[in-house]
Structure 1
Amino acid sequence: MKHYTRDNFQLTQSIGFHLNKARNSLLMEMDSALRPLDINGQQMGILLSLTRGVASTPFEISKLLGIDSGLMTRMLDKLEEKGLLERSRSIDNRRVVNLTLTEKGKAVAAQIPEIAPEVLNQRLKEFSEAEFLEFRRLLQKFVSTR
Structure 2
Amino acid sequence: MPLPTLEKDVDHYTPESFTLTESVGFAINKARNLLVAELDASLKDLDITTQQMGILLSMRGGVTQTPFELSKLLGIDTGLMTRMLDKLEAKGLLQRARSLEDRRVVNLTLTREGEKVAQELPHIVPVVLNGRLRKFNRSEFKEFLRLLNKFLED
Q: TM-score, normalised by structure 1?
A: 0.98
Residue of 91, 101, 116 corresponding to 1:92: 101
- Find the aligned partners of 1:29 and 1:134 in 2 and give their Cα distance: 23
**Structure 1 residue runs without a partner (length 5+):** none
Q: Which has the larger radius of gyration?
A: 2
In structure 2, the residue matched to 1:45 is 54
Which amino acid counterpart does residue 11 of structure 1 have in structure 2?
A: L
Q: CA–CA distance in 2 between the matches of 1:77 and 1:144?
A: 31
Task: Letter of the 2:98 partner, please give it.
Answer: R
Higher helix share: 1
Looking at structure 2, the residues matched to 11 and 139 of structure 1 have their Cα atoms a distance apart, in angstroms, of: 20
Equivalent-residue separation in structure 2 for 1:62 and 1:118 (angstroms) = 26
Which residue matches 2:70?
Answer: 61
Q: Give the match for residue 41 of structure 2.
A: 32
Aligned to 1:78: 87
Task: Pick from 107, 113, 121 the counterpart of residue 116 of structure 2.
Answer: 107
Q: CA RMSD of the aligned region, Å?
A: 0.5
Partner Cα distance (1:125, 1:11) in 2: 27
Instruction: Specify the code of the residue in structure 1 equivalent to 2:120.
Output: Q
Count of matched residue pairs = 145
Q: Provide runs of 4+ in structure 1 moved above 2 Å.
A: none
Are residue 135 (structure 1) and residue 144 (structure 2) matched? Answer: yes
- Deviation of 1:139 after TM superposition, in Å, equals 0.4
Take 2:153 and 2:114, find their aligned partners in 1: how far apart are those partners?
31
Give the corresponding residue for 1:126. Answer: 135
User: In 1, distance between residues paired with 2:101 and 2:65?
Assistant: 15
Q: Tell me by how many angstroms 1:144 deviates.
A: 1.2
Partners in 2 of 1:45 and 1:144 — Cα distance?
A: 20
* Structure 2 counterpart of 1:36, one-letter code: D
